[in-house]
Amino acid sequence: MATKGVGMANKGPAFGMSRHVQDKIDSKYDAELELVLVEWISRQCGAGVSKPEAGKMGFQAWLKDGCVLSELINSLFTAEKPVKKIQSSTAAFKQMEQISQFLNASEKYGVTKTDMFQTVDLWEGKDLAAVQRTLSALGSLAFTKDEGTYNGDPNWFFKKSQENKRDFSDDQMKAGKNVIGLQMGSNKGASQEGMSYGRSRQIL
């Protein structure tokens, strides 16, 4: 009998509910987005990074050791590079450590925790759609920041909405509180007289 799931490292066959859940997760993987992400990452990292085989398995294998991801995040920093050491290794813990460095650097760059994948999502292939989501968020952030490090097509990612921070002085804050106080005070003395709530219920 043929073995299912060949290519997913250290991953046994899934049965019953777990197989159903995995199928739903896999269905969220976007093959078209894969093409965009591969092209963008290749441009960002330069000629030193070769492109993967097409498809989800090739995409996972390309990123699994964390080296390409580390090259990517370093390319977005103009000054000090966040990932100091990028070294390919066949050791599982070294690969996961390299992925973790990418995730930490991405958070430092501005990617929110809700957009971040977990190391096992990539390394074990549990949720490659989540990996795509993180990389899309990173691409959008790089495009939005416009620091001269984004090396991609402007149509590939959406610009993130800029936070509109407003700085108020102490006097302005006090004035705002007074307005709220006056609004609350205008309700003082109000009564329920004359307000109709319908006929009261009679208990027999």
The model scores a pTM over 0.85: no
pLDDT of residue 27: 66
pLDDT of residue 52: 93
Tens-digit pLDDT profile for residues 43-95: 999 988 889 999 999 999 999 999 999 999 999 998 889 999 998 899 999 99
Contacts 24+ apart (CB under 8 A), 92-95: 92/10, 92/123, 94/65, 95/64, 95/65, 95/66, 95/123
Q: Assign domain 20-145 one CATH number from 3.40.50.300, 2.120.10.30, 1.10.418.10, 3.50.50.60.
A: 1.10.418.10
Tell me how far apart the alpha carbons of residues 38 and 34 are, in angstroms, rounded to a whole number: 6
Question: pLDDT digit of tens for each residue in the chain (204 aa)?
Answer: 444 443 444 454 444 546 555 555 556 899 999 999 999 999 999 988 889 999 999 999 999 999 999 999 999 998 889 999 998 899 999 999 999 999 999 999 999 999 999 999 999 999 999 999 999 999 999 999 989 899 998 889 988 765 444 444 566 556 655 654 555 554 555 455 544 445 544 554
Q: Comparing C-alpha atoms, which of 48, 46, 53, 63 is closest to residue 131?
A: 63
Contacts 24+ apart (CB under 8 A), 110-119: 110/141, 110/145, 111/137, 111/138, 111/141, 112/137
Tell me how far apart the alpha carbons of residues 47 and 187 are, in angstroms, rounded to a whole number: 70
